[in-house]
Amino acid sequence: MYLERISAPALEPVSVQEMKQHLRLDHDEEDSLLAGMIVAARRHLEKRLSLAFLSARWRYRADKTPRGRAALEIPLFPLASVQQVRLYLEEGTTVLADLANMKVSSAMRPATITGVRIPFAAQAAHGAEIEFTAGYGDAPEQMRLAIKLLAAHFYENRVEVPGCTIPPMPSSVSLLLMDVMEVRLI
């Protein structure tokens, strides 16, 4: 699986000023450090949860391409729209899939695209590349709070002390996001 963000979100869900209030900081010397920790916290949580907190455009290359009219799964939630599906054929050419009959099912995870006819000549591995937009318009409040808590954890545990280990992620972050965590039955 290959997943790449094509466009970054315009703004982070938590501003540096909000983070400073959360940490009760009244100086500006570490603003760039805090900005980086906000980004790191958001990216960590997005990856761990397979969520896009903010609306952004993505490119996904599937590991395996189903043949015929099988569903293509999108690894990020929530899926807002699909811009294009490019198919890589075994002889080395590419074709854009006809999206006229495409149906997007984004209410459940993983979101799926059906109705795209995938020719038999499509490569079995890495044969479909999907450009899509995923993310919440505005990050829900519980996600914003989880970002603040994790960024605060990064801030408070940024200095390595010989012989000490960094404490694990605060359990409050996991509790906040429990209802959006993906559960898979094996």
133 vs 128: CA distance, rounded Å: 16
Report yes or no on 185 lying in a domain: no
Report yes or no on 44 lying in a domain: yes
Residues 66 and 36 in one domain: no
Residues 130 and 146 in one domain: no
Residues 130 and 154 in one domain: no
pTM across the whole model: 0.77
15 vs 181: CA distance, rounded Å: 24
Helical H runs in 12-167?
Answer: 16-23, 31-49, 141-156
Residues 43-56: tens digit of each pLDDT: 888 888 888 888 89
Q: Which residue has the higher pLDDT, 65 or 5?
A: 5
Mean pLDDT of 102-107: 82
Helix then strand count (H, E) for the chain reads: 4, 8
Count other Cβ atoms within 10 Å, centred on residue 132: 24
Closest of 74, 71, 157 to residue 118, by C-alpha: 71
Range of the domain at 103: 56-134
